[in-house]
Amino acid sequence: MALTGRFYNLFFKRTSVFTLSIVVGTVLFERVFDQAADGLFEQLNRGVSSIGERYTLENDLVARTEKETLSMFLYDWWPTVESIINVPSFYAYIFTLRIILSTFFYILLDE
């Protein structure tokens, strides 16, 4: 009885905590169910279709694109960025920041 009372006080007594626990539980359930369904699908279709080949080609394309982006925009001024962080959105952020700063300094020095 003490366990159910504690559970009630923790999750169901306040509406905000109850709602938050429902939302968090729903998101976690969705992610677990989606991962399990994908794993089951790939397990059942292994050898039947070209699922493994597709993932290999996509991964090769992403790796090549990241390497080209890194060599084009980052090696000339910060060569150790790949060892610090390896996130594609970080590269896009650095590239955008570089364009903004170069435009700003061009306008500043032009006037």
What tens digit of pLDDT does each residue of 90-108 get? 667 777 777 777 776 666 6
Q: What is the value of pTM for the model shown?
A: 0.38
Residue 54 belongs to some domain of the structure: no
Contact 88, 66 (CB under 8 A): yes
Residues spanned by the domain of 21: 1-49
Say how many C-beta atoms besides its own lie within 10 A of residue 67's C-beta. 11
pLDDT tens digits for range 29-68: 999 999 999 888 888 877 665 555 555 666 666 666 666 6
Torsion, Cα of 12, 14, 16, 22 (10° steps):
0
Which one-letter DSSP state was computed for residue 10?
I
Note whether 1 and 45 are same-domain residues: yes
Instruction: Quote the pLDDT of residue 51.
Output: 56
pLDDT of 3 strictly over 70: yes
Residue 22 belongs to some domain of the structure: yes
Mean pLDDT of 17-26: 88
Residue with tokens 């590269």: 91
Structure tokens that stand for 61 in this block: 């394309």
Report the number of distinct structural domains present in the chain. 2
Instruction: Quote the pLDDT of residue 95.
Output: 73
Instruction: Quote the pLDDT of residue 79.
Output: 46
Mean pLDDT of 61-78: 58
Q: What are phi and psi of 36, to 5 degrees?
A: -65, -40
Structure tokens that stand for 60 in this block: 């090769």
